[in-house]
Amino acid sequence: MHTSPIIRKIFEGLATRPEMYRMFHRHRGDPAMAEGDAPHLFAGEWFEIAECDHDYMLEILPPLWMRADMFAMREFMTGRVTSIFFALTIDGRRRWFHGYCDLSDRGSPERMKAAIIERESRPVRAMTRDERLEHIWSSTHEDYRGYASERWPTTMRGRRTVLVYTGQRGTILKLLDDLTEAEIAAKLPVQLRHLPERVAA
């Protein structure tokens, strides 16, 4: 039985081209990548890009397939997961997005399109705690993030970690999921710190 991945926004705002490429490789170092079992890491992730980057990616290679408002990259990231690029009209404005869909599930691109439109049509700009953590992971340089190694308790190994400045204790390595609200706020860009928290659907 096929299990649909959770469709999730991983970066708040319009990603620049360097940020877009960084997010293409945001799971580098994950133990699942080394084991060759990584579709679950990518499938369902999405973020907003500029029109020029959407068009640039269209010109790199002939797409695997193309529809009126989306196209699929010919090269697969892992398993049957590939990049889908969207050109969507939301609230009367044209916007562009990148997402990873598992094409073994033929309906996944349309579900992602619907999820993006629903998420971006909300009248109040807000972020869930998970979206805040994903933004932090996406925007943190590889030198300052990683995965819990064998030095961590067995139950924590392989989970994502980030360096956190704690004041008197200095900089420590901490599980991303265990960041406090104050630590999350400190790691977010100023313009995102005071956005209201949206309750996850």
Q: Does residue 198 register a pLDDT over 90?
A: no
Run of H or E including 186: helix 181-187
Run of H or E including 85: strand 81-90
Token reading at 130:
């998970």
Tell which wins on pLDDT, 5 or 115.
Answer: 115
Which residue stretches of 25-121 are H helix?
A: 31-34, 39-42, 51-60, 108-120
Token reading at 199:
């309750």
- Top mean-pLDDT range of 23-27, 73-77, 78-82, 95-99: 95-99
> Three-class SS of residue 82?
strand
Residues above pLDDT 70, as percent of the chain: 92
CB atoms within 10 A of CB 126: 12
Run of H or E including 95: strand 93-102
Cα(53)–Cα(55) distance, integer angstroms: 5
Q: Which residue in this structure is represented by tokens 């960084």?
A: 22
Q: Does residue 1 register a pLDDT over 50?
A: no
State the pLDDT confidence band at 78, using cuts at 50, 70 and 90: confident
Closest CA to 26 of 131, 132, 130, 142: 142
Q: Does residue 125 register a pLDDT over 90?
A: no
Token reading at 13:
């705002």
Token reading at 44:
């369902």
Q: So what's the pLDDT on residue 168? A: 78
Distances (CA, A) of 103 to 24, 36, 48: 17, 17, 21
State the pLDDT confidence band at 195, using cuts at 50, 70 and 90: low
Q: Does residue 200 register a pLDDT over 50?
A: no
Q: pLDDT tens-digit profile of 128-149?
A: 889 999 999 999 988 899 899 8
Give the amino acid at 174.
Answer: K
Tell which wins on pLDDT, 186 or 109.
Answer: 109
Q: So what's the pLDDT on residue 40? A: 85
